[in-house]
């Protein structure tokens, strides 16, 4: 094997390891949230987290549908802590009874960034949500643009931008994390 072939083989193996690590991270994150284990999910968040859900503008061309003119959610890790604490009070009536959810994550694309310990990840999310004995359910499709920091303790979510497919969400609230 030549040096070039060895380098290419090593790069492919590293890419496969990175893909497996990131895909496993996204699967673990989905499972923790679906199981109502928000405290464990919180530990996967980087201290510098920015979590946002901009409003999609239906009247704009695709290249300008998501602007900073409308934001549904823009949270830091401290905001997420407050939201989780509120859910644990039993007084967050939008989640009494708690939602039953199933997150399907796919179409994972990974891109390197300038920092060697950070990767950009794009994924598709389909969230099924049903509450209590209510026969109605929500399906929330979205594209997620994540930045994941690779740390010795494992991957940590550094940023998430959730781009909803719908312009008007049919769900009565966004009390669950996307």
> What structural domains does the chain harbor?
3-164 (3.10.450.50)
Q: What is the mean pLDDT of residues 156-167?
A: 92
3-state secondary structure of 79: helix
Q: What is the pLDDT of residue 59?
A: 65
Q: Residues near 132 by Cβ (< 8 Å), separated by ≥ 6? A: 97
pTM of the model: 0.86
Q: What is the mean pLDDT of residues 151-161?
A: 97
Residue pLDDT, tens place only, 29-43? 999 999 999 999 999
Residue pLDDT, tens place only, 55-113? 877 666 666 676 666 788 899 999 999 999 998 898 888 888 889 999 999 999 999 88
């Amino acid at each position: 094997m030549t040096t070039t072939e060895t380098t290419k083989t090593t790069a492919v193996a590293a890419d496969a390891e990175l893909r497996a690590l990131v895909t496993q991270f996204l699967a673990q994150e989905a499972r923790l949230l679906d199981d109502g284990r928000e405290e464990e999910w919180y530990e996967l968040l980087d201290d510098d987290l920015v979590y946002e859900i901009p409003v999609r503008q239906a009247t704009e061309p695709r290249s300008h549908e998501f602007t900073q003119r409308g934001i549904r959610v823009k949270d830091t890790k401290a905001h997420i802590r407050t939201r989780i604490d509120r859910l644990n009070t039993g007084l967050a009536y939008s989640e009494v009874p708690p939602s039953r959810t199933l997150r399907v994550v796919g179409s994972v694309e990974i891109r390197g960034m300038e920092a060697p310990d950070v990767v950009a990840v794009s994924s598709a999310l389909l969230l099924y949500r049903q509450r209590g004995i209510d026969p109605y359910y929500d399906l929330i499709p979205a594209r997620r643009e994540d930045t994941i920091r690779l740390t010795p303790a494992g991957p940590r979510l550094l940023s998430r931008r959730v781009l909803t497919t719908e312009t008007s969400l049919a769900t009565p609230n966004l009390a669950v994390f996307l």
